[in-house]
Amino acid sequence: MVRLIILDRDGVINEDSDAYIKSPDEWVPVPGSLEAIARLKQADFRVVVATNQSGVARGLFDLDTLNQIHEKMLGQVAKAGGTIDAIFFCPHHPDEECDCRKPKTGLYRDIAARFRLGLTGVPAVGDSLKDLQAAKAVGARAILVRTGKGEKTLSNGEALEDVDVYDNLAAVVDALLAQEQ
């Protein structure tokens, strides 16, 4: 059986910025996140990233720079002993009304199609309301981390019923792996 976990990028794997992560130099991992991804891989999880990247449409960085940021992320994860199986991203501006920008479910439906899996109960970790809404809309298990925008999302208190809350990705992985024993 394929086990899958879906992770938001900014605020979950790496530190977030209201000014966007615009270069590889600005991409800084959340403490413990890279090791957490390595532990997921050791437990035979497929690790997939689903991330809104409207900075592309806003002209803050181009697709080549986004690819460089992702190369840095993949390299840092590899150094920690892990891998990311796929990265799905939405490059559109919020005003574009695309189907892939969370809270819409296009990225999640693409993940389901690529891996030929249903997403019911699949852990989906995010730090924003949009992440939680997208996960819930496809029947995934919405998990909020307090890193990134997580504390703000928590203080707003919206759509938090049936959402597990953890301090960070490392704590999520601790809980997921403990549930399996």
Q: Which of 10, 16, 127, 131 is catalytic?
A: 10
Nearest to 129 by CA among 100, 161, 167: 161
Cα atoms in the 13 Å half-sphere on the side-chain side of 48: 24
Q: Is 162 in the active site? A: no
Q: Is 8 in the active site? A: yes
Q: Which of 8, 16, 127, 131 is catalytic?
A: 8
Nearest to 125 by CA among 8, 33, 2: 8
Distance CA 127, CA 62 (A): 24
Distance CA 161, CA 61 (A): 36
Active site residues: 8, 10
